[in-house]
Amino acid sequence: MIPSLECAFQYSECYFRVKENFHREGDVVIGAFFPLHTFYTANKTAYGNVVNYYKDFYLQYTFKNYQFVLALIFAIEEINRNPHLLSNISLGFDVYNVPYTEKNTLMSTLVWLTGQRNFMPNYNCRMNRKSAAALTGTSWATSAQMGTLLQLYKLPQLTFGPSDPILSDRGQFSSLYQMAPNDTSLSLAMVSLLLHFNWSWVGLILIDDHKGTQILSHLKEEMDRNRICLALVEMIPVSWTSFSYNFWKNLKKIQKSLANVFIIYGDTDSLQGLMSNLGQQLITWKVWIMSSQWDNTKQADYFLLDSFHGSLIFSHHHEESFEFSNFVRTVNPSKYPEDPYLPKLWHALFNCSFSKFDCQLLENCQPNASLELSPKTIVDTNMSEESYNIYISVYAVAHTLHEMSLQQYQMQSHINVEEMVFFPWQLHHFLRKIHKGEHMNLEWKWSLIEEYDIVNFWNFPKGLELKHMIQWPTRFTKIPQSVCYTSCWPGFRKVTQEGRVICCYDCIPCPDNEISNETDADQCVKCPETHFSNTEKNNCLQKSMSFLAYNDPLGMFLTTIALCFSAFTLAVLGVFVKHRNTPIVKANNRTLSYILLMTLVVCFLCSLLFIGHPNTATCIMQQTTFGLVFSVALSTVLAKAITVVMAFKVTFPGRIMKWLIVSRAPNYIIPICTLIQIVLCGIYLGTSPPFLDQDLHSEHGHILIICNKGSVVFFHCILGYLCFLALGSCVMAFLSRNLPDTFNEAKFLLFSMQVFFCVWVTFLPVYHSTKGKVMVAMQVFSIFASSAGILGFIFAPKCYIILLKPDQNSLHHIRDTAYSRRNKPL
């Protein structure tokens, strides 16, 4: 329906039978001057406004501004129905069109003041009509032109357009009252929006007049305070309304700028050419921030692509009026037959036809036609900022008349209020009080507190404006960035580039164990010692306690091995006990074998002291138990080796040697060697014992719960003593390795001690090069390897013979073997 607006009435002469004004009777009349239509004598293209061609000129209707008329009618009807406000006195209005030329603007004002088209200054043809005030807008220029004329008659002038500092000059405009709040906080509001989205590289497009200069000064001050930089500033001449080559070059700069956000400030008239050219370029990669003076109907091209889709528009906050929306829904040409604009609007929206005789609307429209069905770009049922200012302006005049009538009634009770007599200049005393906010009855209608709504403009559906949802320009899939360079994300910090503005910087990652948890951080913050930085360097995480736990996979594996080896050693002990009377068990010193096997069981189980959460007791027991148990095991091996040497190496045993062998003197080596280790451990515990400690730095992200060895010297003495016992056993076993005996275990003792010696010599460098649970696991593995080496090399061959070769474990086999050796030829 919308794209057919032009062709729907392109050749209808009724659109050129335009009344410049229309009137509603009332005891007191308010003059309203609204820009509703414009004549053009050259080619003109309009997007959202309705344009008609007839006899070499164009007529353009700005139907979006028709809401001004609706707001005026709504306020006056609401006041006239109110029995407590201006009772027995009705308000009327005169609506005049304001064209975009200074001459026609002044002519419309003189027609209203004199009551005649061929006006004569200072002569009024309508003396019976009491005019109270004039409503003017939308631009400050229009209000200023009319104000120079209206103040000659001291007629109150209320402007509903944006506030302007020039119009606040009481010496120049003594009869003018600006109803819109000041825009002094607009720059602060816009900068607050920039800070919210972290936009620090922003362009400005401003009109080149006093308001543009003022807003530029305010914006630069706020931006400098908040470290936001200007990418570029373009000042648009006020008179520029068409395409120019000079601005085309500037438009290229805007398109290529790294700034994705641009602030546009100016009134509708001054920005018309700029907005038209921006709309034609389809710039879908910029976010435009604008004030509410932007008229989007001039860009309503009804395509899915639009340069202004996603724009953010600031407007002064006002209460939503549901009564006004309901009122707009009830408006139709038959309800207001004096209105010359409604028939044309109905014809354009609902394809109604005109009568050929009087251009009145025929009764062939669609049923239930309502302005509610109109697109928002044509007529919006929600009250706009300018319409709200019109609404409160009418109420200000009504309350002024009400206060003045009450005062006159109190002073002269004989005066009939139905024939209210006043001069327009008398209203100023009451209007000034209301304009300063001193009238309590208007507090709910009018507030001068600067609050802003931010409206998001959509192009699909075209013209939709939302306050609580944001759609960005079509180029962006997330919140746009507008910075000199890529923002420093959390985990990085800014480094200002030398010779550039403060907004231009490089990003470097935070050092180890330091973080930045906000965008564009200036410095990184060091994490506490109990915390560590994550890989993104944007958060400090609590370090977890790390130790070789039982539920840890490595801990479970080591625990299982310890228990399995202990069980296997007990099984070997059981085999030896069961076959204790066999030759092989007797020949290898049955008692020492039992002692060694039981000691190996304890050796395997002592590894469990290294697994689980360490405490002071386990820290002390780890090394001392390890040293003492292995001292018993190695001294037992040493005793077995010495026994073999004494039995087979002494060829002429005397009485003393025989007594040593018979009395089992080598068995005393075990307590003697163990006692030496006990002394070492006692000195160790008495001087600098092991203690529970924490390592905060060795392993990233973990606090290592460790058993500090205390005195490193004594720890190495304990380990060195064990290696000394192993080396002594190696020497003894080596001396008896070739003795001719069926069950000679000297070779196996030698191999087991070599394994033990190699394991613990290798253990030292590896142990000192690791940290945490790996270091503990290395000692546990060394315990397993050395214990398994003793168990395997010494007892595995004997178990093999006992279990799988029982025929070799007999006296008969021993005698046969010995006989064969004696008769063996040389």
Instruction: Please write the tens of the pLDDT for every residue from 98-138.
Output: 876 666 778 888 888 887 767 676 776 665 668 889 999 88
The number of beta carbons lying within 10 Å of the beta carbon of residue 421 is 11
Mean pLDDT of 79-98: 89
pLDDT at position 566 over 90: yes
Report whether pLDDT(53) > 50.
no
User: For residue 54, what pLDDT is reported?
Assistant: 45
pLDDT-wise least confident of 141-145, 441-445, 521-525, 669-673: 441-445
Is the model more confident about 3 or about 575? 575
Which residue did the predictor score with more confidence, 743 or 779? 779
Closest CA to 706 of 690, 688, 694, 689: 694
Q: Where are the domains of the chain?
A: 2-181+326-442, 492-542, 553-822
Predicted confidence band at 652 (pLDDT cuts at 50, 70, 90)? very low
Q: Which of 153-167, 189-203, 349-363, 681-695 has the lowest mean pLDDT?
A: 349-363
Instruction: Between 825 and 166, name the one with better pLDDT.
Output: 166
Q: What is the mean pLDDT of residues 189-197?
A: 91
In whole angstroms, what is the distance from residue 655 CA to residue 539 CA?
82
- Using pLDDT thresholds of 50, 70 and 90, give the confidence band for residue 816: low
Give the position of tokens 């008329």. Answer: 69
Can you tell me the distance from the alpha carbon of 242 to that of 415, in angstroms, rounded to the nearest whole number? 58
pLDDT at residue 648, rounded to an integer: 62
User: What distance in Å separates the CA atoms of residue 130 and residue 423, rounded to the nearest whole number?
Assistant: 8
Residue 642 pLDDT class (50, 70, 90 cuts)? confident
Could you please report the per-residue DSSP string of 288-307? EEEETT--GGGG----S--T
Report whether pLDDT(56) > 60. Answer: no
Produce one character per residue of 601-615: b if its CB has 16 or more CB atoms within 10 Å, e if not: bbbbbbbbbbbbebe
- Check residues 291 and 438 and name the one with the higher pLDDT: 291
* DSSP-derived secondary structure for 194-205: HHHTT--EEEEE
Task: Give the best-scoring range by mean pLDDT among 259-268, 672-681, 692-701, 795-804.
Answer: 672-681
The whole-number average pLDDT for the span 742-750 is 70
pLDDT score of 2: 36
pLDDT at 747: 77
φ, ψ for residue 601, nearest 5 deg: -60, -45
* Other Cβ atoms within 10 Å of 332 Cβ, number: 17
Tens-place pLDDT, residues 159-170: 998 888 888 888
Own/partner pairs for 564-572, CB < 8 Å, 24+ apart? 565/604, 565/784, 565/787, 565/788, 565/791, 566/601, 566/604, 566/605, 568/791, 569/597, 569/600, 569/601, 569/604, 569/791, 570/597, 570/601, 572/597, 572/791, 572/795, 572/799
pLDDT band (50, 70, 90) for residue 434: confident
What's the farthest any 2 CA atoms get from each other in the chain?
Answer: 166
Cα distance between residue 731 and residue 92, in whole Å: 128
Q: Mean pLDDT over residues 745-768, rounded? A: 81
pLDDT at site 443 = 43
Per-residue 3-state assignment (H helix, E strand, C coil) for 497-520: CCCCCCCCEEEEECCCCEECCCCC
Q: How far apart are CA 271 and CA 296, in angstroms?
A: 11
Neighbours of 465 (CB within 10 A): 18
pLDDT at 510: 93
Instruction: Please provide residue 506's backbone torsions phi and psi, each rounded to the nearest 5 degrees.
Output: -105, 165
Answer whether residue 654 shows pLDDT above 80.
no
Which CATH class, in words, describes the domain spanning 553-822?
mainly alpha
pLDDT at residue 44 tops 60: no
- Answer yes or no: are the C-beta atoms of 51 and 44 closer than 8 Å: yes
- pLDDT(441) > 60: no
Choose between 161 and 560: higher pLDDT: 560
Q: For position 445, what pLDDT does the model report?
A: 44
Residue recorded with tokens 């014809």: 347
Is residue 100 within 8 Å of residue 44, measured between CB atoms?
no
- pLDDT recorded at residue 269: 67
From CA 36, how far away is CA 38, in angstroms rounded? 7
Provide the token pair at 311.
């724009």
Q: How far apart are CA 34 and CA 736, in angstroms?
A: 125
Omega prior to 159 cis, within 30 of 0: no
Categorize the per-residue pLDDT at 559 as very low, low, confident or very high, splitting at 50, 70 and 90: very high
* pLDDT given for residue 88 in this prediction: 82
Q: What is the mean pLDDT of residues 406-413?
A: 72
pLDDT at 1 over 60: no
Tell me the pairing of strands 130-136 and 157-159. Answer: parallel
pLDDT confidence of residue 423: 84
Beta bridge partner(s), residue 31:
94, 134
- Would you place residue 526 in the very low, low, confident or very high pLDDT band (cuts 50, 70, 90)? very high
- Predicted local distance difference test score (pLDDT) of residue 675: 92
Q: Of 376, 383, 378, 395, nearest to 445 (Cα)?
A: 395
Per 3-state DSSP, what percentage of the chain is helix, strand, and coil (rounded to 5)? 45, 15, 35
Question: What is the mean pLDDT of the segment spanning 760-766?
Answer: 83
Beta strands in 247-335, from DSSP E residues, in sequence order: 261-265, 287-291, 312-316
The first and second tokens of residue 548, run together, are 């070789």
Query: Which class for 464: exposed (0-12), middle (13-18), buried (19 or more C-beta within 10 A)?
Result: middle
Give the integer Cα–Cα distance in Å for 91 and 394: 9
In percent, the amount of the chain with pLDDT more than 70 equals 77
Q: Comparing 39-53, 248-262, 553-567, 767-781, which segment has the lowest mean pLDDT?
A: 39-53
- CB-count burial class (<10 Å; 0-12, 13-18, 19+) for 129: middle
> Helix and strand tally (H, E) in the chain?
23, 25
Kindly state the average pLDDT of the residues 369-383. Answer: 80
**All residues at 6 or more sequence positions from 149 whose CB lies less than 8 Å from its CB, including other chains:** 106, 109, 110, 113
As a whole number, the mean pLDDT across the chain is: 79
The CATH number of 2-181+326-442 is 3.40.50.2300
462/302 Cα distance (integer angstroms): 6
What pLDDT, on the 0 to 100 scale, is given for residue 47? 39
Report residue 822 CA to chain centroid gap.
Answer: 95
3-state secondary structure of 22: strand
Report how far apart, in Å, the C-alpha atoms of 683 and of each of 264, 680, 692 are.
Answer: 85, 5, 19
CB 55 within 8 A of CB 40: no
Provide the pLDDT confidence category of residue 75 given band limits of 50, 70 and 90. very high
Q: What is the pLDDT of residue 409?
A: 73
Cα 440 from chain centroid (whole Å): 44
pLDDT: is 434 or 797 the higher one? 797
Which amino acid does the sequence have at 529? E
The better pLDDT of the pair 306, 416 is held by 306
Q: Is the pLDDT of residue 41 over 60?
A: no
For the segment 736-756, the average pLDDT, to the nearest whole number, is 71
The answer to whether 516 and 524 have CB atoms below 8 angstroms apart is yes
* pLDDT tops 60 at residue 819: no
The answer, yes or no, to whether residue 37 has pLDDT greater than 50, is yes
**What average pLDDT does the segment 607-612 reach?**
89
The answer, yes or no, to whether residue 735 has pLDDT greater than 70, is yes
pLDDT confidence of residue 657? 55
- Answer yes or no: is pLDDT of 633 > 60: yes
Q: In the prediction, which pLDDT does 249 show? A: 64
